[in-house]
Amino acid sequence: MSECVIFNKYIFIYIYICLLHFVANEEEKLLIRYNGGEKEWAFTLDLNIEGGLELYNRLKENKKIELTFEYNPFVLILQYNDTFPPLIKTSSIRTEAFEIGDIMTSLDYFAILVIKIGNPYYQKIGHLIQTERSSIDELNTLSKNSKSGLNLEFVFEADEVEKPDTTKIAEINKKIIIIVIIGLSILIILFIIKFIV
The domain ranges of the chain are 2-22+165-196, 26-163
Q: Which of 35-49, 57-71, 113-127 has the lowest mean pLDDT?
A: 113-127
Instruction: Identify the pLDDT of residue 58.
Output: 93
How far is the C-alpha of 145 from the C-alpha of 142, rounded, in Å? 5
The residue ranking higher by pLDDT, 162 or 157, is 157
Instruction: Identify the pLDDT of residue 138.
Output: 82
The residue ranking higher by pLDDT, 183 or 53, is 53
Residue 130's nearest CA partner among 28, 29, 44, 36 is 44
How far is the C-alpha of 64 from the C-alpha of 172, rounded, in Å? 39
Specify which residues 140 forms β-bridges with: none
Residue 160 has pLDDT above 70, yes or no: no
Instruction: Identify the pLDDT of residue 39.
Output: 85
Instruction: Identify the pLDDT of residue 97.
Output: 75
Q: For the full predicted model, state whether its pTM sits above 0.75.
A: no
The residue ranking higher by pLDDT, 138 or 132, is 138
Q: Which of 7-16, 63-72, 130-139, 181-190 has the lowest mean pLDDT?
A: 7-16
Residue 57 has pLDDT above 90, yes or no: yes
Instruction: Identify the pLDDT of residue 43.
Output: 92
Most confident of 29-38, 39-48, 72-81: 39-48
Q: Which fold has domain 26-163?
A: Cyclophilin (2.40.100)
Q: Which of 42-56, 67-81, 120-134 has the lowest mean pLDDT?
A: 120-134
Residue 84's nearest CA partner among 49, 47, 59 is 59
